Amino acid sequence: MTEIKKVLVVDDDPDFRGQMEIMFSTRGYEVTTAPGRKEAQETFQTFVPDIAVVDLMMENDDDGFVLAYRLKKRFPDCIVIMVTNVTGETGIEFPGEDDSSGWINADAVLSKPVRFEQIEEELRKIESR
Amino acid sequence: MAEEKILTLLIVDDEAGMRAGVRRSLRHFSMEIEDTAEVIKLNVAEAASGEEAIALMEKASPDIVLLDNKMGGITGLEVLQWINEKDLDLMAIMITAYASIETAITATKEGAYDFLPKPFTPAELKVSVRQAAAHLVALRQSRELEREKKRVRFQFISVLAHELKAPLAAIEGYLYLLRDGTGLDDPAVYDRVVARSLLRLSGMRKLIYDLLDLTRLESGQKRRELTDVDVLDCARNSMETMEPDADRRGITISLESSVEEVVITADSGEIEIIFNNLISNAVKYNRDNGSVIVKIENERKLVRISVSDTGIGMSGEEMEKLFGEFVRIKNSKTRNILGSGLGLSIMKKIASLYNGNVTVDSTPDVGSTFTVTLGKKI
């Protein structure tokens, strides 16, 4: 039997958090959510995530970057998926999976609104690498 | 002190004496622009032919060009045409030896600002240059203003689009959940999906209504019906409207006033908007089991409405930010509170219609007091 995978969802939008929680938990994942970077870091002691879905802009515009960096440092095997509204609002394109600069510590970057199928697709791609 | 601004004037003439004369006449040129308290000075450059003028203007566009028409080589009119093609931001004054009507008409078509028929006196020259400079400065100012207006409009629409996109994305997410039937065998999940969707929809509707209120107020299109309005009555109505929301969280709302009625000439809809905004905010940003005090003070020339809460409060920095359009204070205490971010803008607009204003006083974790003053005579 495979081990139950653990997912950390960090977003200041309670609806997005709730939807991700329902999606992941009905698919058999164990889910913990946090509304911000600080709260997410507090879970590090007790929760070892296999996957983290992290919003880029929360209380501070760069919370997602900082959190992704800390997640990767603490849990090097954790898959980090960054979700963001930034492209739609500012027109700034973020380097996605083919990011060669390495300045985003995420395995995938998805633009909101994000469909759950997109996340599943990214996970499949990353896990088969 | 007045700010000095230097404009470049290029004199294009094949007669050296003419160029020297113009330079001499404009040496001490100085004029003040009243609107901006700017002092305009001139920096004079010379070109001895049309070809030389074009070579100079290709490097840097002057602000004013004095252009002789009859020159060896290309004519002044041809230089003017070149300026037009390049769409240079400058004022051209044509110097014509014989003020012929044809030259005048052609030059006007090509966008010359003024004419100086030869021979002209230093005084005539200065008057013409002065007018051209004033016109140029005014033109650039209005262009700058137009740009600023466009920028503000763009920013407003960008933020508005974001504020409308956020609830749409949330509702869309819930609909996908319903479509896929994910987790819906749990009735608690089903209830939450429906309740949150409805809540986000009502937030969106509130934003649209607020936006319409704001637009009507700003455009002055809203018909105002001015009648005798009892401010205390409006306060009581609004308190009643907000009561269910307050009750649910154990918040009490009370009214304090030293008089039984305060009648002012007003549009009752506007006064209602003010109370609804003040009281609903005081409830929204309150703690559970807190209190809201609505206080009405009747002064000689104005009515002072203040609404205090026992809520999360704000820092000084947050208070400064608060009065912008769509500004919502984003921190761990506010992230579950929905709002359009337009309430204060609307209140400010309304208060200004009554020669009043909106102020705030707040202490983090203690509470906030918003005060609106309304003049009795409008």
DSSP result, A66-83 = HHHHHHHHH-TT-EEEEE
A33 - beta bridge partners?
A9
Beta strands in A29-113 (DSSP E): 30-34, 51-55, 79-84, 108-111
- In B, minimum Cα distance to A23 occurs at B182
Q: Which helix (H) or strand (E) holds B86?
A: helix B76-86
CATH 3.30.565.10 boundaries in chain B = 225-375
Do residue A23 and residue B182 have CB atoms under 8 angstroms apart? yes
Residue B200 is nearest to which of A15, A22, A26, comparing CB atoms?
A15
Is B298 exposed, middle or buried (CB count within 10 Å of its CB: 0-12, 13-18, 19+)? middle
Average per-residue pLDDT in chain B? 88
Within 8 A by CB and 6+ apart from A56, the residues are A62, A63, A64, A65, A82, A83, A84, A85, A86
Q: Is residue A57 part of a domain?
A: yes
* Amino acid found at B237: N
Q: What is the pLDDT of residue B72?
A: 83
Query: What are φ and ψ of residue B348, in 5° steps?
Result: -65, -45
> Mean pLDDT, consecutive 10-residue segments, chain A of 129 residues?
85 90 92 92 93 86 87 92 72 51 76 87 88
- SS3 assignment, position B58: helix
Q: What is the pLDDT of residue B33?
A: 83
Q: Is residue A14 part of a domain?
A: yes
Tell me which CATH homologous superfamily contains domain B225-375.
Histidine kinase-like ATPase, C-terminal domain (3.30.565.10)
Tell me which CATH homologous superfamily contains domain B3-146.
Response regulator (3.40.50.2300)
Look at strands B367-375 and B302-309 and give their pairing: antiparallel
Q: What is the pLDDT of residue B295?
A: 95
- CB count, 10 Å around CB of B330? 15
Q: Is residue A1 part of a domain?
A: no
Q: State the ipTM, two decimals.
A: 0.81
Do residue A113 and residue B332 have CB atoms under 8 angstroms apart? no
Distance of alpha carbon B142 from alpha carbon B374, whole angstroms:
34
Look at strands B302-309 and B291-298 and give their pairing: antiparallel
The four Cα atoms B301, B303, B304, B309 give a dihedral, to 10 degrees, of 180
Q: Is residue A111 part of a domain?
A: yes
Residue A15 is nearest to which of B165, B189, B196, comparing CB atoms?
B196
* Amino acid found at B12: V
Task: From B83, B9, B18, B61, select the one nearest B40 (Cα to Cα).
Answer: B9
- In A, minimum Cα distance to B188 occurs at A22
Residue B334: C-alpha distances to residues B27, B290, B312, B324 (Å) = 63, 16, 8, 17
Starting at the earlier edge strand, list the strands of the sheet with B64-68: B30-33, B38-47, B3-12, B64-68, B91-96, B114-117
Note every long-range contact of B183-190, with CB atoms under 8 Å and residues 24 or more positions apart, other chains counting.
B183/A22, B183/A23, B183/A25, B183/A26, B189/A22
- SS3 assignment, position B329: coil
Residue A59 is nearest to which of B196, B330, B336, comparing CB atoms?
B330
- CB count, 10 Å around CB of B115? 17
Mutate to test the interface with B, among A9, A11, A12, A19 (most CBs of B within 10 A): A19
Query: What are φ and ψ of residue B118, in 5° steps?
Result: -75, 145
Number of compact structural domains in chain A? 1
A:40-69 residues touching chain B, CB 8 A cutoff: 59
Task: From B358, B347, B368, select the one nearest B271 (Cα to Cα).
Answer: B347
Distance of alpha carbon B349 from alpha carbon B361, whole angstroms:
19
B92 - beta bridge partners?
B65
Within 8 A by CB and 6+ apart from B133, the residues are B7, B31, B40, B42, B63, B64, B91
Do residue A89 and residue B162 have CB atoms under 8 angstroms apart? yes
- In B, minimum Cα distance to A25 occurs at B183
The residue with tokens 């996957």 is A51
- Helix then strand then coil, % of chain B, to nearest 5: 50, 25, 30
Structure confidence by residue, pLDDT tens digits, B150-203: 888 887 787 788 778 888 989 999 999 888 887 778 888 889 999 999 989 988
CATH 3.40.50.2300 boundaries in chain B = 3-146
Residue B215 near residue B253, CB atoms below 8 Å: no
Residue A26 is nearest to which of B166, B183, B332, comparing CB atoms?
B183
Q: Which domain holds residue A61?
A: 6-127
Q: What is the pLDDT of residue B149?
A: 86
Do residue B177 and residue A38 have CB atoms under 8 angstroms apart? no
Residues of chain B with pLDDT under 70: 1, 98-99, 222, 325-333, 335-338, 378
- SS3 assignment, position A56: coil
Structure confidence by residue, pLDDT tens digits, B199-246: 899 888 988 888 888 888 878 776 788 999 999 999 999 999 889 889
* Rama region for B326: left / alpha / beta (φ>0; ψ in -120 to 50; rest): left
Q: Which helix (H) or strand (E) holds B81?
A: helix B76-86
Q: What is the pLDDT of residue A2?
A: 64
Q: Which residues of B fall within a CB distance of 8 Å from A115?
A: 176
- Could you tell me the CATH number of the domain that includes residue A54? 3.40.50.2300
